[in-house]
Amino acid sequence: MRTVLRLDSAPERQTPSRRHWLAGFEWFFLLVGLVALDTYVWVNTSSTLSQAYQDWAFDQTLRGQTSTIRGFVEDEFSWLFGSQREKVEAPEAAPKFQPMPQGKPPQPSEVIGRLEIPRLNLTVMVREGADGKTLHQAVGHIPGTALPGYAGNVALAGHRDTFFRALRNIKKDDTIELETENGTYRYLVESTDIVGPRDVGVLAASHGQTLTLVTCYPFYYVGSAPKRFIVHAAQVSPIPPRLRQQGS
């Protein structure tokens, strides 16, 4: 009796054309991945550099000095290579508690000040506007809301995956400071809230002096987040301007 072996599961040989297409797909997806990585690195690097310059320039303004790109680069290289930065003594002056001029609205992308939440180690510059370009560079002051120092609701918006990511850990009674050229205003967190994207009531004017921080929610949501995370804070008191020393 003759035995016949049937190899039904024998692997199918790939034709040269099929191998060519597979190799093409591999290179395509590799290229897409490299472009995505390059974009991510560029976006984060440009945001970091923009924040560093804005922070330095704001300190220069508080000292009454002119800020230039060249001065920023020289100062950073001086710090990088361990040289002592020249300390500039701030001129003595009476504390300025005059709020920002309310009659003339800030220009788009104009620097409003610097926001700090010490417990969260969050320090970020604040600019006028809530458009995409402004929020890429800083936290944005929402046009139409109060300016620091005036009665009303100062509303600031920021991206959940960059400048306002730390807000996921904010707590009641945390201190928030908003430093401007005319003085620094201190707030205490009263509560947090989660609302829908169309709930603009959180931006309504208040009778006192309040601060509202707005970002998207959930913080780790992939894509366009469906809700908004809100931080409500009330002003405690203005404090004297802090004229920081270089190298501090």
Show the domain range for 74: 18-85
Alpha carbons 219 and 208: distance in angstroms, whole number = 30
11-16 long-range contacts, CB within 8 A, separation 24+:
none
Same domain for 132 and 201?
Answer: yes
Catalytic residue among 20, 141, 207, 216: 216
Residue 95 falls in which region: left (phi positive, over 0), alpha (psi -120 to 50) or beta: beta
Q: Count the domains in the chain.
A: 2
Same domain for 56 and 126?
Answer: no
Within-domain flag for 193: yes
Within-domain flag for 13: no
Alpha carbons 222 and 7: distance in angstroms, whole number = 48
Catalytic residue among 20, 136, 141, 159: 159
Half-sphere exposure of 72 (CA within 13 A, CB side): 17
Same domain for 234 and 113?
Answer: yes
141 included as an active-site residue: no
Within-domain flag for 66: yes
159 included as an active-site residue: yes
What local confidence, expressed as pLDDT, does residue 77 receive? 55
Same domain for 167 and 79?
Answer: no
* Residue where a domain terminates, one of 85, 106, 122: 85
Same domain for 111 and 218?
Answer: yes
* Residue where a domain terminates, one of 85, 113, 133: 85
What local confidence, expressed as pLDDT, does residue 246 receive? 36
Residues 6 or more apart whose Cβ sits within 8 Å of residue 226: 196, 197
Within-domain flag for 58: yes
Within-domain flag for 244: no
> Is residue 112 within 8 Å of 156, Cβ to Cβ?
no
What local confidence, expressed as pLDDT, does residue 198 receive? 84
Q: What is the CATH number of the domain that holds 188?
A: 2.40.260.10
Angle between helical axes of 16-62 and 69-80 (0-180°, round to 10): 100
Same domain for 114 and 65?
Answer: no
Below-50 pLDDT ranges, the chain: 40, 42, 62-63, 83-99, 242-248
Same domain for 23 and 103?
Answer: no
**Cα Rg of the chain (Å, integer):** 26
